[in-house]
Amino acid sequence: MSRKQAAKARPPAGAKKGRRNRQPTAGPTPGTGLGLAGQLRALGLKLREVPGDGNCLFRALGDQLEGHSRNHLRHRQETVDYMIKQREDFEPFVEDDVPFEKHVTNLAKPGTFAGNDAIVAFARNNQLNVVIHQLNALLWQIRGTDKNNVRELHIAYRYGEHYDSVRRINDDSEAPAYLQMEMLCKNDLNKEEEVKLQKGDSEDEIEDEMEDAVRKVCNATGCSDIDLVSRILEVEDYNIESAIFAVFQAIEVERISTEEQCDPQSRDEKWCSRTPQEENGTGSRICGNQSLDQDEIDNNKGQARSNEENRASRSTKVSKKQKKEQQRLEKKKRQEERHRQKVLANKSDSADSRGRETDSNNHITLVKATAALNI
């Protein structure tokens, strides 16, 4: 929409442009105030009333923009200055055949009612959108820029000639208001249901994949302990290859531990006691009525040492495999972390490029709307 078309657009009911020195009435039309308050309450909003002294528009806009209405005279003057600079956009639409110079001179005076043309000028000068709430009417959105995701100021138009600020229902602070329209459509509920269904399907798929991974590891390793395999898969981030290696490793460690526990018992069964023989000055091992000479004892000791060396060799091989696998996993994690940081950086750059002009430290309240009229 061109600027002239925007200026031609019909203002909210009763908000006539260029109304001069018109003072709003102090009292509300019976029932309208309560009706609009209830309408806003349903959206989680409320009115913050400003004095009806002819400066109400700039007071309401200032409350939205800065958190208070004390700078209404400055906002008025800046708006008038913008209209003068962009005279070709506003002059054709001044009412009552009033010369443009006289119109802006009157508008610059404190207490002069300001209407739709002033809202358009204010929105363009500050590069933001102004949203107007009315009783039993669609929202009006005065667009001051073609950019997306710009800040919105929400005001209410009441009594046929008075503006108030619109706030969150629990917002009594002197902080800027951050409200943003959220356009809804008839298909939104259906979309939510579709998302829930898709989420349920994805959870079922994940469970199936987990069971399939457990089955593959069990088949590859011959391990029947499903709890053990499940725990190892979880530790290995469901990497089947790594889980298979880890299961083999666990089985080998368990086997070695079992052998070490059994060896002392076997030795005790074979060599029950050692008794000194004082008659000939030699010693022997005796089990019942059997005895072994020194050569047999030495041979058994050698065999025991050989067994210990074999176990140590197997343990060393397992340790080397563990170290190699650990290094591979650490390398994989480093690669994943670099990828994650890259994705986060891209998201951050994308968010900056969109140029959202709201303070990230401030909470933005979404105002649900099914339709809005744009100027």
162 assigned to active site: yes
For residues 84 and 104, give the distance between their C-alpha atoms in angstroms, rounded to a whole number: 8
Residue 64 — φ and ψ, nearest 5°? Answer: -65, -45
> Cα dihedral angle (188, 190, 193, 198), rounded to 10 degrees?
-100
Retrieve residue 207's tokens: 């469970």
81 assigned to active site: no
Of 75, 103, 154, 162, the catalytic one is 162
For residues 65 and 154, give the distance between their C-alpha atoms in angstroms, rounded to a whole number: 10
CB of 79 within 8 A of CB of 61? no
> Strand, helix or coil at 142?
strand
CB of 223 within 8 A of CB of 252? no
For residues 252 and 262, give the distance between their C-alpha atoms in angstroms, rounded to a whole number: 15
Strand duo 139-143 + 45-48: pairing: unpaired
164 assigned to active site: no
Which residue is associated with the tokens 């500050």?
126
For residues 232 and 123, give the distance between their C-alpha atoms in angstroms, rounded to a whole number: 61
C-alpha to C-alpha distances, 60 to 23, 64, 341, 362, nearest whole angstrom: 16, 6, 44, 20
Of 53, 96, 349, 359, the catalytic one is 53
Return the active site residues: 53, 56, 162
